[in-house]
Amino acid sequence: MKSLANISVIGRDKTGVVARVTQFLFQSGANVEEIEQQVTRGRFSMSLQASWRGALDRTAMARGLETLGASLGMEVRGRFMEQHKRQRMALLVTKEPECPEAIVRAVKSRKIPAEISVVVSNHRSLAPIAKKAGAPFLYVDYSDRDRAEKTVLAAFEEYEVDWIVLARFMKILSPNFVWRHKNKIINIHPSLLPAFPGASAYRQAYERGVKIVGVSAHIVTMHLDEGPIICQNSFKVKPGEALSDIIRRGQQLEAKTLVRAIQLCLRKRLDIYWGVVHNV
């Protein structure tokens, strides 16, 4: 049996942080399997994955990480995983139902090897989708993003979320949010990235007269619509096709492509090296 944990370290940059954290893990008998760190505007962020042979006392480890964080003056948290349990997803949605409905169907048919642990939205209109999934629905007012993100992050802790899926969630995530779940946030964007990032991608493509319209599923990073691309799909624009028809066809393709991206990620069919996704 092998115990796994994803650990995040966030706070003001200072010397010796990496050594202190890795030493603590080494003394607990852990093997550090992955580690990545960066400093942005004086703010230090580190994400690592550690493993232990045999069962792990999660309560003691969480307490130890909290004590370590206090001594460093930083936030140090661990998300613990079990190798043989079904992974848990959080769906973030706004108003468009195509993607979340497709994901719910794929989970129920076991095409996606996971369970939906919570559905989060900045609108109430898609609450029935959470009911179909048998998951709690959390409405969050995003008029104050910092406060909203604290609420959502707390919910992820409560529901022990492993993966986050932005199923056409129409809000930009802060770097502070993204780093806490590095390489664990999947998004669908309605263009063949890197073309037409940002809002109204279908309209951007339509106004430029492109002949092929597509969608991109990608890992979310701190840079908008620039994360590693997991998979893409496209269709040819018909002569004289209206923007509304392009959007309708695109939304159907978004759902299909997002489901495929989730399958690849959860079945560990890919790795990310230097910002590029590689199939394994």
All structural domains of the chain with their residue ranges = 2-82, 87-279
What superfamily does domain 87-279 belong to in CATH? Formyl transferase, N-terminal domain (3.40.50.170)
Q: What pLDDT shows up at residue 209?
A: 95
241-244-245-249 Cα dihedral, nearest 10 degrees: 130
Proportion of the chain above pLDDT 90, given as a percent: 74
Residues in a beta bridge with 68:
none
What is the reported pLDDT for 179?
A: 82
Give the pLDDT confidence of 10-65 residue by residue, as tens digits: 999 999 999 999 999 999 999 998 888 888 888 898 988 899 988 889 899 999 99
- pLDDT tens digits, 214-239: 999 999 988 889 899 999 999 999 99
pLDDT tens-digit map of 62-115: 999 999 999 999 999 888 876 557 889 999 999 999 999 999 999 999 999 999
> pLDDT-based confidence at 271, cuts 50/70/90?
low
Dump the DSSP string for 39-62. EETTEEEEEEEEEEES---HHHHH
The candidate with the shortest Cα–Cα distance to 266, out of 181, 172, 166, 186, is: 186
Residues classed as catalytic: 225
pLDDT in the model for residue 101: 97
Instruction: Quickly state the pLDDT bin for 212 (edges 50, 70, 90).
Output: very high
Contact 162, 89 (CB under 8 A): yes
Q: Give the dihedral of Cα atoms 141, 145, 150, 153; nearest 10 deg.
A: 90
Would you tell me how many other CB atoms lie within 10 Å of the CB of residue 117? 22
Please determine, for residue 154, whether its predicted confidence score (pLDDT) is greater than 60. yes
Establish whether the linkage from the previous residue to 100 is cis, with ω within 30° of 0: no
What's the pLDDT score for residue 268?
Answer: 72
Among 23-37, 176-190, 262-276, where is mean pLDDT lowest? 262-276
How much is the pLDDT for 112?
A: 95
Does domain 2-82 match CATH 3.30.70.260?
yes
